[in-house]
Amino acid sequence: MKIDQLKQYKKILILGYGREGAATEKFLKKFVPECEIGIADIKDGSGYLDKQKSYDLVIKTPGIPKKLVQIPYTTASNIFLANVNNTVIGLTGTKGKSTTASLIHSIIVAAGKKSFLVGNIGQPALEILLNPINDDDIFVCEFSSYQLDDINYSPRISVILDLYPEHMDYHGTVEAYYQAKKNILKFVKKSDYFVFNPKFSQLELWSKQTICQTIPYETKILLSEKEIPLIGEHNLDNIRAAVTVSHILKISDDVISKAIKNFKPLRHRLQLVGSFNEIIFYDDAISTTPESTIFAVKTLKNIGTIFLGGLDRGYNFSDLVKNIIEYKIPNIVFFPETGIRILKLLPENEKNKRRILLTRNMEEAVKFAYQHTPKGTVCLLSTASPSYSIWKNFEEKGDLFQFFIKTLGNEKKN
């Protein structure tokens, strides 16, 4: 929705008031100063949705399903995309969005261009528009399935990294979740681009159904694997995506390779915390699906202890259990709720081969890891489930993991 269209409404309600909601309020006060702005948030109590009846338009936060909106509405993502004519690179997928978006942003900056990292990993998009922008500024946007569920615009360059079942509690079915991801292509023009991972047959199919220019990932990564600061095959795919997008922007291979080499891995994404008491600790708190945890196990291999479990979104853990058995992981910490489900899938003879701790306490879990993880092996936090059964988000979970590793590790030294 363009600013001129927003000005037609006298009373606008911001539904959901987190970082994005606060940025939306600032945006409205600057560009639509005559409208009356209201705020409704779940913190206001169970009746917060009823406030809609007193307003003409809702600007909905992504976390609130559209079925709960009772009057005409738009979103911050739609307002942003409607009001910029710049090159927008939109990334989505189940995993790897933040790393790939950050990598593309770093390459663009290394090329001497002005880039803004917006969305879940960067600033709220509408916050950027509070200040003047130049015509050649580039926006790198990470889009969740929630944001794409009711998107009305497509980016200049759309990137879909991968597809795995997730967020069924929000979307209802895997098909609805995939459709939300596909929506990023819904409004493309012939001159736009779709960059996709050809390993996924669904993405290959979508590439044949769209009118824009389609480009599968390039195979080259420009550097040897020893020079790359990211580990795992999935991160090689993320680099291939970044290289492909960078070539669309006509950035040289020399600039791309230097930017990749200098890239600093993001926190909580297969992050090496360090070696303490001859145990190697990795924080992969971002891994909230079975598939991403399997990637982590296959990448690190030598795992002595793994932390699993979290909010139950109905995932199938059968392949993860096979993975645990195949890699002979001897110690497992299970957190509620899904920890119990994963434990039940382990055959009795396999349970008997392992030390198992059921807990909801991170300090207790790390103590267990220090007591039982074989020297020279890895303790991995990669829970295969969302964090919300115990923690506020994956960042809190990862921060606690790192805090107790260092606190208890230093105690053992003394």
Residue 210 belongs to domain with CATH number: 3.40.1190.10
Are 210 and 120 in a shared domain?
A: yes
Are 233 and 90 in a shared domain?
A: yes
Is there a domain that residue 245 lies in? Answer: yes
Are 62 and 202 in a shared domain?
A: no
Structure tokens at 108: 């663009």
Q: How many domains does the chain have?
A: 3
Are 249 and 351 in a shared domain?
A: no
- Helical packing angle, 233-248 and 97-110, nearest 10°: 40
**Domain at 345, CATH number:** 3.90.190.20
pTM, to two decimals: 0.89
Average pLDDT over the chain, rounded to an integer: 95
Strands ordered across the beta sheet of 331-334: 271-276, 279-283, 378-381, 303-308, 331-334, 355-358
pLDDT at 414: 53
Burial of 228 (0-12, 13-18, 19+ CB in 10 A): middle
Is there a domain that residue 250 lies in? Answer: yes
**Domain at 52, CATH number:** 3.40.50
Task: Summarize pLDDT for 51-107 with one digit per residue, the tens.
Answer: 999 999 999 999 899 999 999 999 999 999 999 999 999 999 999 999 999 999 999
pLDDT exceeding 70 applies to what percent of the chain? 99
Tally Cβ neighbours within 10 Å of residue 335.
27
Are 240 and 280 in a shared domain?
A: no
Task: Give the pLDDT band (50/70/90) at residue 247.
Answer: very high
pLDDT for residue 25 is more than 70: yes
Whether residue 366 contacts residue 276, with contact meaning beta carbons closer than 8 Å, is answered with: no
DSSP H helical ranges for 262-388: 290-300, 318-326, 338-345, 348-351, 362-372
For residue 148, CA distances in Å to 14, 186, 302 come to: 18, 10, 38
Task: Summarize pLDDT for 59-71 with one digit per residue, the tens.
Answer: 999 989 999 999 9
Task: Summarize pLDDT for 257-310 with one digit per residue, the tens.
Answer: 999 999 998 999 999 999 999 999 999 999 999 999 999 999 999 999 999 999
Are 104 and 51 in a shared domain?
A: no
Indicate the residue among 48, 76, 104 that finishes a domain: 76
The residue segments making up the domain with residue 54 are 3-76
Is there a domain that residue 104 lies in? Answer: yes
pLDDT at 209: 97
Tally Cβ neighbours within 10 Å of residue 141.
25
Indicate the residue among 22, 50, 76 that finishes a domain: 76
Are 122 and 231 in a shared domain?
A: yes
Is there a domain that residue 347 lies in? Answer: yes
Tally Cβ neighbours within 10 Å of residue 83.
17
DSSP string, 136-158: T-EEEEE--HHHHTT-----SEE
Indicate the residue among 239, 261, 283 that finishes a domain: 261
Task: Summarize pLDDT for 198-243 with one digit per residue, the tens.
Answer: 999 999 999 999 999 999 999 988 999 899 999 988 999 999 999 9
Is there a domain that residue 295 lies in? Answer: yes
Are 102 and 238 in a shared domain?
A: yes
pLDDT for residue 110 is more than 90: yes
Are 214 and 353 in a shared domain?
A: no
Are 55 and 110 in a shared domain?
A: no
pLDDT at 412: 63
CA–CA dist 394, 307 (Å, integer): 13
Are 288 and 311 in a shared domain?
A: yes
Are 98 and 27 in a shared domain?
A: no
Is there a domain that residue 266 lies in? Answer: no
Structure tokens at 265: 């891995």
